[in-house]
């Protein structure tokens, strides 16, 4: 038995505990049996405390050992679920934005389906598209009576058609980048396996057809051409065909994003309201020119910044982005510098306004945005993908904020 071992020694019998080679004399009390030559040394009360502590320690070790074995068996029996839990715990995304975030019940199946489509649609681009069209449409307003049912209808038609085309573009990009996204964005439904390739194809095909159908029945040529050019550039940017997949080339990729976000959105959707809804001749006003120029800077920044957190997958699959070529830190501070320059120019433009209210709002607004951007940039840990991704989403929030200021430029 490993608890107590009875051993014989030359001096008589004594108790032995593993790990204790000998007893101190004060811990043992000699006992002599009358009429016998046998003499036994028994532990004193002090020694019994030692024995009790020993057994307590051994019992605790036994419990810990079996608990560890049980945990190991559990993780062996359910390796997939444990791996999934660990990925979620370290991914930097909330549970609600992860694949299969809700238990598989009839009610939660609907939630999971909506959540998957939400991630598939890339909501930050959806918000940016809708907000930019509404903002630019406001530039066409000349008098209070312009705010009418035809105006609301024209804006609604443009937003819906553009959002469907937006989903086509981001969906096609995910279809073309499934393997890359398994490294860079494993939470997207195609990369995670929630959507099959066929499901993705059905989605992008359906939304492109519906977008063109709506643009055609509206009868607005600026709107239709905006959709068509966005379709062509979005397809050429992503699809893996000879002479296409322009995202492989950093400069061409940036020009595609600039053309859509800076030029097409500003000019085409403004002309849609100005010429189709209000039937007025095209007039390129100061706010429109400012919006196009400013968003050119911003589009370049988005085109460069979006590749910073994706450097790992881009290197593996041969995407020669500026981040791969120049490094994350250099591209990061180039983006921050470009935006700060754009805000500086915006402050000067606002200061030249002949309207006091416009001057105050635009100068103060752009000054605050510039300061907030600089403070945020200084706090980013460029060694953390989660921190860089968070900063990228912050850049999109600045993008939204700018479209709130653009209609106030006068």
Report DSSP state, residue 78.
Answer: -
Farthest CA pair distance, the chain: 131
**Confidence at residue 108, expressed as pLDDT on a 0 to 100 scale:** 81
pLDDT, tens digit, 9 for 90 and up, residues 307-324: 999 998 888 888 888 999
**Confidence at residue 74, expressed as pLDDT on a 0 to 100 scale:** 39
**Confidence at residue 35, expressed as pLDDT on a 0 to 100 scale:** 53
Q: Helix-strand-coil percent breakdown of the chain, rounded to 5? A: 70, 5, 20
**Confidence at residue 317, expressed as pLDDT on a 0 to 100 scale:** 86
State how far the Cα of 132 lies from the Cα of 158, in Å rounded to an integer.
11
Per residue of the chain (410 residues), what is the pLDDT tens digit?
Answer: 444 333 333 444 444 444 444 445 455 555 554 555 555 554 554 444 444 454 444 444 544 344 444 434 434 433 433 433 333 333 344 433 556 556 667 678 889 999 999 999 999 999 999 999 999 999 999 999 999 999 999 999 999 999 999 999 999 999 999 999 999 999 999 999 999 999 999 999 999 999 999 999 999 999 999 999 999 999 999 998 998 999 988 889 999 999 999 999 999 999 999 999 999 999 889 999 999 999 998 999 999 999 999 998 888 888 888 999 999 999 999 999 999 999 999 999 999 999 999 999 999 999 999 999 999 999 999 999 999 999 999 999 999 999 999 999 98
Q: What residues have CB less than 8 Å from 171, skipping those under 6 apart? A: 120, 121, 200, 203, 204, 207
pTM flag (> 0.85): no
State how far the Cα of 385 lies from the Cα of 403, in Å rounded to an integer.
28
Angle between helices 149-176 and 123-138 (to 10 degrees): 150
pLDDT, tens digit, 9 for 90 and up, residues 12-40: 444 444 444 444 545 555 555 455 555 55
Beta bridge partners of 42: 29
Q: What residues have CB less than 8 Å from 378, skipping those under 6 apart? A: none
Structure tokens belonging to residue 366: 């752009």
């Amino acid at each position: 038995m490993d608890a107590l071992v009875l051993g014989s020694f030359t001096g008589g019998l004594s108790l032995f505990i593993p790990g204790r080679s000998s007893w101190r004399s004060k811990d043992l009390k000699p006992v002599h049996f009358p009429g016998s030559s046998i003499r036994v040394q028994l532990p004193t009360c002090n020694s019994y405390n030692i024995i009790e502590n020993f057994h307590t320690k051994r019992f605790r070790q036994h419990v810990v050992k079996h608990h560890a074995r049980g945990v190991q068996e559990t993780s062996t029996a359910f390796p997939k679920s444990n791996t999934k839990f660990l990925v979620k715990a370290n991914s930097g995304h909330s549970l609600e934005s992860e694949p299969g975030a809700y238990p598989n019940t009839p009610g939660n199946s609907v939630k999971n389906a909506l959540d998957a489509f939400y991630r598939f649609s890339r909501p930050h681009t959806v918000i940016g598209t809708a907000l930019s069209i509404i903002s630019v449409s406001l530039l066409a307003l000349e008098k209070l009576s312009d705010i009418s049912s035809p105006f609301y209808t024209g804006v609604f038609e443009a937003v819906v058609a553009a959002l469907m085309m937006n989903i086509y573009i981001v969906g096609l990009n995910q279809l073309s980048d499934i393997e890359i996204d398994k490294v860079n964005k494993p939470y997207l439904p195609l990369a995670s396996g929630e959507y099959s390739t066929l499901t993705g194809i059905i989605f992008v095909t359906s939304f492109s057809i519906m977008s063109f159908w709506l643009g055609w029945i509206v009868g607005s040529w600026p709107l239709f051409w905006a959709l068509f050019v966005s379709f062509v550039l979005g397809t050429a940017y992503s699809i893996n065909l000879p002479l296409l997949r322009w995202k492989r080339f950093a400069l061409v990729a940036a020009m595609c994003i600039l053309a859509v976000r800076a030029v097409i959105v500003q000019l085409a959707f403004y002309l849609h309201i100005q010429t189709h809804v209000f039937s007025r001749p095209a007039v390129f006003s100061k706010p429109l020119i400012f919006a196009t120029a400013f968003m050119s800077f911003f589009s370049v920044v988005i085109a460069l910044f979006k590749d910073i957190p994706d450097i790992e997958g881009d290197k593996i699959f041969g995407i020669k982005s500026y981040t791969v070529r120049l490094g994350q830190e250099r591209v990061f501070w180039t983006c921050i510098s470009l935006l700060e320059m754009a805000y500086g120019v915006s402050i000067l433009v606002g200061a030249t306004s002949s309207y006091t209210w416009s001057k105050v709002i635009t100068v103060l607004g752009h000054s605050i945005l510039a300061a907030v951007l600089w403070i945020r940039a200084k706090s980013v840990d460029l060694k953390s993908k989660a921190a860089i991704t968070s900063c990228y989403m912050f850049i999109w929030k600045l993008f939204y904020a700018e479209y709130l200021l653009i209609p106030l430029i006068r």
